[in-house]
Amino acid sequence: MLSNQQLKGFQQQLQQTKQELKERLHDSGDFDLRRSMHDSTGELSSYDNHPGDQGTELYEREKDLALSEHYRDEISDIDRALTAIKAGDYGKCEVCSRDIPLERLNAIPTTTFCVEHTPSRETSDNRPIEEEVLGPSFGKFDNEERKESVAFDAEDSWQEVASFGTSETPSDFAYPPNDYEDMYIDSEENIGYVEDYENFVGVDIYGKEITVYPNSQYEELKEELFEENIQTSFGDLPRYEHDPYVEEDKN
């Protein structure tokens, strides 16, 4: 239960903060929102400008809108708290009517909720209406199964572009790649082929006469298969007593 002196102190603090916020809005001309963007940039029209040329102005206008909305929301919260003081309800949660700890009121004088019932703990599930008809550019969301395609699709296009570099860092991955050039999603996927053996196994025009052409991927797969004691779909990989690829590496 707050004392009269504490209530008076909070009331004065809220009124002073409200006055400061109103002065900021007035002095800034509502963050220059009273003028059109053309007036603030000195442009008579946007028709002769490429949209990309107005990127900075658009960003600043969006920032001003966000700041203006933030200030007005804060003033609204202050008015709500002042109304609660007049009604004798300040310091009690609007939901459970329990006393709000003094430490919380000192930190957030505008609050009229306890920690358990504050609306800021609720995650909004309001999503843009476009999401009902528009899907992601490729695949589905991470929590859902994706139908893989063997053709060169949009996902492959993204991987091709991302291979030239992205803004991703190791902290963006649950299991970071070993190389900074692989800092993009599914960078470990094979490009241009499905299975590793496609790069060193060949057949004749009739699909027969399987031939193995040793290379680095052949050596890696061979060791993995022997360690796991498993076979490929076409049987064991042959062991070469004098592997030309291995001999070349040794030399």
Q: Average of pLDDT values for 221-250?
A: 57
CB atoms within 10 A of CB 14: 20
Query: 62 with 78, same domain?
Result: yes
Query: 85 with 173, same domain?
Result: no
**Domain coverage including residue 175:** 152-192
Q: Average of pLDDT values for 218-232?
A: 74
Higher pLDDT, 11 or 61: 11
Higher pLDDT, 237 or 17: 17
- Position 98 pLDDT exceeds 80: yes
| Three-class secondary structure of residue 202 per DSSP | strand
- Position 93 pLDDT exceeds 60: yes
pLDDT of residue 192: 67
Higher pLDDT, 228 or 76: 76
The model's pLDDT over 190-208, given as tens digits with 9 standing for 90+, comes to: 766 777 777 888 888 888 8
The model's pLDDT over 115-167, given as tens digits with 9 standing for 90+, comes to: 988 887 777 777 778 777 776 655 554 444 555 556 677 777 888 888 888 88
Q: Average of pLDDT values for 95-99?
A: 91
Spatial separation of the C-alpha atoms in residues 32 and 25, rounded to whole Å: 9
Higher pLDDT, 32 or 244: 32
Query: 244 with 166, same domain?
Result: no
Query: 18 with 87, same domain?
Result: yes
Q: Is residue 126 part of a domain?
A: no
Record the pTM: 0.49
How many distinct structural domains can be found in the chain?
Answer: 3
- Position 13 pLDDT exceeds 80: yes
Query: 166 with 200, same domain?
Result: no
| Three-class secondary structure of residue 92 per DSSP | strand
Mean of the per-residue pLDDT values of the chain: 78
Q: Average of pLDDT values for 16-21?
A: 94
Q: Average of pLDDT values for 201-225?
A: 81
The model's pLDDT over 52-62, given as tens digits with 9 standing for 90+, comes to: 777 888 888 88
Query: 80 with 166, same domain?
Result: no
Spatial separation of the C-alpha atoms in residues 13 and 7, rounded to whole Å: 10
Query: 77 with 33, same domain?
Result: yes
* Amino acid symbol at 163: S
Query: 220 with 161, same domain?
Result: no
Q: Average of pLDDT values for 29-43?
A: 72
Q: Is residue 72 part of a domain?
A: yes
pLDDT of residue 150: 61
Query: 17 with 77, same domain?
Result: yes
Spatial separation of the C-alpha atoms in residues 94 and 117, rounded to whole Å: 9
Query: 212 with 229, same domain?
Result: yes
Structure tokens at 139: 């695949």
